[in-house]
Amino acid sequence: ALNKQPEEVFDIVGKLGEGSYGSVHKAIHRESGHTLAVKKVPVDTDLQEIIKEISIMQQCDSKYVVKYYGSYFKNSDLWIVMEYCGAGSVSDIMQTQSKGCVTFTTSRKIHRDIKAGNILLNTEGHAKLADFGVAGQLTDTMAKKEHRNWNAILDGSRTIEMAEGRPPYSDIHPMRAIFMIPTKPPPSFKKSEEWSPEFNDFIRQCLVKKADERKTASQLVEHKFIAEAPGSEVLQAMIRDAQEIQAASQNALAISASITEATMVDGGTTIIDGQYDATLIHNESYITAQSLKSQMESLRIGGEIPASAMSSSRIAPPPYENAQAAGIAALQGNANAFNNVGTGPNFAVGAEGDADSTFSSASQLNTEAEYENRFQRAMVDGDYEFLRSITLDELIKRKENLDFEMDQELTELQRRYQTKRQPILDVIETKKRQMF
Amino acid sequence: VASRSNMELTADLHIIQENELPPWLLMYAQSDTSLDHLLEWNLFGISQLAQYEEMMRKLYKQQAIDIARKYEKMRVAINREIHRRDASRPPPRRM
Ligand SMILES: Nc1ncnc2c1ncn2[C@@H]1O[C@H](COP(=O)(O)OP(=O)(O)OP(=O)(O)O)[C@@H](O)[C@H]1O
Ligand SMILES: [Mg+2]
């Protein structure tokens, strides 16, 4: 039925929720009367990445993973048709329960973006993992290699999120979390006495930092906490409660929108990638138009591929010769304007000290400007001596201001890179259009 | 003891190898934007452009990490100084 328009195949009957960049709808399969879930994702994002994720979802044939049925292109959206999980996500239910539910913990595996929002429950209370980064592609990009170790730890943190309602580190600046997580002792419950000793111990075991000392998932499953966990009956009552509460609430959608937001505020890599790195999806495999087509067929993706999708997938044409020389020539001009030679990409590339600015070398710091200067300077060369000559009040003020100043610098960096990347992106766009 | 997790941390925070980045691209990334229009990107092929664009993204991410690291060091230094003057305040953690 892939050659049909999706609306001939099923009827959309309502909206289930909104994710970080797509909405999820409830649909009825016309032929069988089955209920389905349809996720609509705009395809101006990297199609190759989406295909990769769908293919993972398709290959997973497990009752713990939300089933994937097929996809359609509809206008500029990709509609991903999947199994309907009547009880919604764990985070939905947590909103209606004062305490979290603890039996979901078994489902942590392989998934790169596990959080309460991505663990769905069907009405029987069975937990299923949803979107293998189809949604995660924005939020979890470089994570694969660079942050593998941290992610394992973050996975354990999800369990705390599910029990306490918010993950560890959710109250600190996301960029700081990347330092906190590897250097601090593993997170634990804020009030450990509120949870059973088995649960506390289970969490401790999940959150062992060194990967080789950490138990494997299958070892963890044998932990007393899991092995002796009550069955899904416990959850069924909870789900019923939750559904009643949801039904009673008139603006259920408004709530689930805020839930989505809440689950986005999690510590560590997820946020870094999401917030500062939204477009930093890196893609090792370059593909031809032909293989893209065949991949889509094998993934049961129907309909016309919209141009916007083609332009974002990477298609390698024969390289133009001689181009490099021309590019380098044009760069000579820029090179002259470039006044910050000597910083390699591996250290403090972004740290531009105002080397020209003069300030007194003496230790009195009389003016605001001198403080400022010293501060900036210390940031660059790592000489923090000047801190000794400022007042305690000033120190505390400085410290309180750090997140704000860092944010400003990061925003400026982002703006700058947008400006620098745009011409490259524009040319890529134009060239692709010429090819079709 | 330089703990292992610290070493891993350092490794993980360097996402670009010096040799994977053409020097001129680094130059472009760091230079003033006023002359950028002189660059004729359309002389490159799409696959090259895609590569350069990806490197720019990586460089951006590296710099974001570097900025965060810079502030984190300052935070530790400030905490240390606060602790030195007033030992009742908690000592800084090691980086
Ligand atoms: N297969 C499904 N069956 C029933 N409800 C679903 C299904 N998939 C998603 N939902 C509902 O839609 C909401 C949004 O899902 P979506 O996956 O788009 O976002 P998310 O998981 O909250 O965040 P992210 O986009 O980062 O994955 C979920 O919280 C859940 O309530
Ligand atoms: Mg999701």
In this structure, the number of other CB atoms found within 10 A of the CB of residue B80 comes to: 14
Q: Minimal CA–CA distance to A204: which of A270, A258, A162, A153?
A: A153
Q: Do β-strands A301-302 and A68-74 pair in parallel, antiparallel, or remain unpaired?
A: parallel
Q: Is A40 annotated as a binding residue?
A: yes
Mutating which of A178, A380, A393, A419 best tests the B interface, going by the most B Cβ atoms within 10 A? A178
Please count the other Cβ atoms lying within 10 Å of the Cβ belonging to residue B38.
Answer: 12
Tell me what pLDDT residue A95 has.
47
Residue A433 neighbours by CB distance under 10 Å = 11
Is residue A317 less than 8 Å (CB to CB) from chain B? yes
Type of residue numbered A81: V
Q: Do B33 and A419 touch (CB under 8 A)?
A: yes
Q: What is the pLDDT of residue A75?
A: 74
**Between residues A423 and A282, the one the model is more confident about:** A423
Tokens of A266: 């999690």
Confidence of residue A349 (pLDDT cuts 50, 70, 90): very low
pLDDT at A242: 59
The count of C-alpha atoms lying within 13 angstroms of the C-alpha of B94, restricted to the half-sphere facing its C-beta, is 8
How many residues does the structure list for chain A? 436
With a cut of 80, say whether residue A390 has pLDDT above it.
Answer: yes
Are B63 and A349 a contacting pair at CB < 8 A? yes
Kindly state if the Cβ of A168 falls inside 6 Å of ligand 1.
Answer: no
Output the pLDDT for position A258.
30
Using CA atoms of A222, A224, A228, A231 in order, give the dihedral in degrees to the nearest 10: -60
Active-site entry in A77, A113, A131, A155: A113
The top-scoring range by mean pLDDT among A187-191, A409-413, B59-63 is A409-413
Residue A209 region by backbone torsions, left for phi larger than 0, else alpha for psi between -120 and 50, else beta: alpha
ipTM over 0.85: no
- Residue A131 designated active-site: no
Q: What 3-state class would DSSP assign to A166?
A: coil
3-state helix, strand, coil in chain A (%, to 5): 50, 10, 35
What is the spatial distance between Cα A424 and Cα B41, in angstroms, rounded to a whole number? 6
Two tokens, residue B32: 């003033």
Q: What is the pLDDT of residues A238-285, one digit of tens each?
A: 656 555 555 544 333 332 333 222 222 222 222 223 333 322 222 222
Q: What is the pLDDT of residues A305-314, one digit of tens each?
A: 555 444 443 3
Compute the C-alpha angle B38/B39/B40, nearest 5°: 110
Mean pLDDT over all residues of chain B? 77
If phi > 0 it is left, if psi is from -120 to 50 it is alpha, else beta; for residue A137 that is alpha
Chain B residues whose CB is inside 8 A of the A430 CB are 42
What average pLDDT does the structure give for chain A? 58
Tokens matching residue A384: 């923090």
Residue bearing tokens 């997938």: A313
Q: CB–CB of B15/A146 below 8 Å? A: yes
Other beta carbons less than 10 A from residue A195's beta carbon: 21
| Helix (H) / strand (E) containing A145 | helix A143-146
Task: Give CA–CA dist A91/A246, Å, rounded.
Answer: 13
In A, which residues are within 8 Å of B58 by CB distance?
Answer: 280, 282
Cβ(A79)–Cβ(A91) below 8 Å: no
Contact call for B53 and A142, based on CB within 8 A: no
Q: In Å, how far are A41, A132, A298, A330 from A157, measured between CA atoms?
A: 28, 18, 36, 50
pLDDT surpassing 50 at residue A123? yes
CB contact under 8 A, A399 and B79: yes
Over residues B55-81, mean pLDDT:
84
Query: CA–CA separation, A159 vs A201, rounded Å?
Result: 12
Q: How many CB atoms lie within 10 A of CB A233?
A: 10
Rounded distance between C-alpha atoms, residue B25 and residue B35, angstroms: 14
SS3 of chain B: the string is: CCCHHHHHHHHHCCCCCHHHCCHHHHHHHHCCHHHHHHCCHHHCCHHHHHHHHHHHHHHHHHHHHHHHHHHHHHHHHHHHHHHHHCCCCCCCCCC
Closest alpha carbon to B13 in B74, B49, B67: B67
Question: What whole-number distance in Å separates Cα of residue A114 and Cα of residue A117?
Answer: 8
Q: Would you call B75 exposed, middle or buried from its count of C-beta atoms within 10 A (0-12, 13-18, 19+)? A: buried
Interface test with chain B among A47, A320, A381, A404, by most B beta carbons within 10 Å:
A320
Residue A337 forms contact with B (CB below 8 Å)? yes
* Residue A209, pLDDT above cutoff 70: no
